[in-house]
């Protein structure tokens, strides 16, 4: 089990980062917000969860143990796999996710692409009493830009990757960038996710 990866950031893509540690490049899937805090050529450390399937081994990376533990907890719900758990953490930060589960806020959970009303209700029922067992932790990855490619393109592609329709993704991104032209990729993505959540 690989519990964490620390080393030089070699490559940052829309849904993963490659970190070289001990001469090995590890491909680590992560949320857009986590990726937004990484910079190519610098050292980074991510807490990781390793998912082993019959035909694959996949690493998922998180800025802290709380996010990793919530990722694992989400997958205890029937019908929730790693991809849906990552989408949930991309739309709802740990604190917001805790609050949604504790308060039974089905509306907040259905903002996640792939989670309908029934799925959200199941998550609340199964996790409401368990979410407090996940210890809260500060110290997330510091936000920042990650390259020269168009911020708009990165955000639109990330939103589409999370399951939002292309047209809605473009409209939300354009709206956010018009309001805050100097926004970083990470902050603009958060704003776009928030905007899309209100329109669902």
Whether the pLDDT of residue 42 is over 50: the answer is yes
CA distance 72 to 182: 35
Binned at pLDDT 50, 70 and 90, residue 147 comes out as very low
Residue with tokens 């610098």: 42
Span 123-134, pLDDT tens digits: 999 998 888 777
Q: pLDDT per residue over 70-122, tens digit each?
A: 999 999 999 999 999 999 999 988 888 988 998 899 999 999 989 999 999 99
Q: Count, in order, helices (H) and strands (E) of the chain.
A: 9, 5
Q: Which residue has the tokens 């592609």?
A: 157
DSSP SS3 for 61: strand
Rounded to 10 deg, the angle between the 82-91 and 94-103 helix axes is 100
- Given this model, what pLDDT does residue 145 score? 38
CA–CA dist 53, 61 (Å, integer): 17
Model pTM score: 0.69
Token pair recorded at residue 28: 């680590």
Q: What is the pLDDT of residues 170-190, one digit of tens each?
A: 888 888 888 887 777 777 888
- Which residue is it, tokens 């704003």? 191
- Give the rounded distance of the alpha carbon of 131 from its chain centre: 18
> What's the pLDDT score for residue 52?
92
């Amino acid at each position: 089990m690989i519990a964490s990866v620390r080393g030089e950031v070699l490559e940052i893509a829309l849904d993963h980062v490659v970190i070289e540690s001990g001469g090995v490049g590890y491909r680590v899937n992560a949320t857009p917000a986590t990726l937004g805090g990484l910079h190519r050529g610098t050292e980074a450390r991510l807490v990781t969860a390793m998912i082993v399937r019959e035909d694959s081994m996949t690493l998922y990376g998180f800025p802290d143990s709380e996010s990793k533990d919530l990722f694992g907890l989400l997958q205890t719900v029937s019908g929730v796999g790693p991809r849906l758990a990552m989408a949930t953490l991309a739309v709802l930060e740990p604190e917001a996710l805790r609050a949604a589960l504790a308060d039974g806020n089905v509306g907040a959970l259905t903002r996640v692409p792939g989670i309908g009303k029934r799925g959200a209700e199941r998550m609340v029922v199964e996790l409401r009493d368990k979410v407090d067992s996940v210890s809260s932790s500060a110290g997330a990855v510091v936000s920042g830009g990650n390259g020269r490619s168009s911020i708009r393109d990165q955000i639109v592609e990330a939103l589409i990757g999370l399951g939002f329709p292309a047209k809605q993704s473009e409209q939300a991104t354009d709206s956010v960038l018009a309001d805050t032209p100097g926004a970083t990729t990470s902050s603009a993505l958060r704003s776009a996710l928030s905007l899309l959540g209100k329109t669902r």
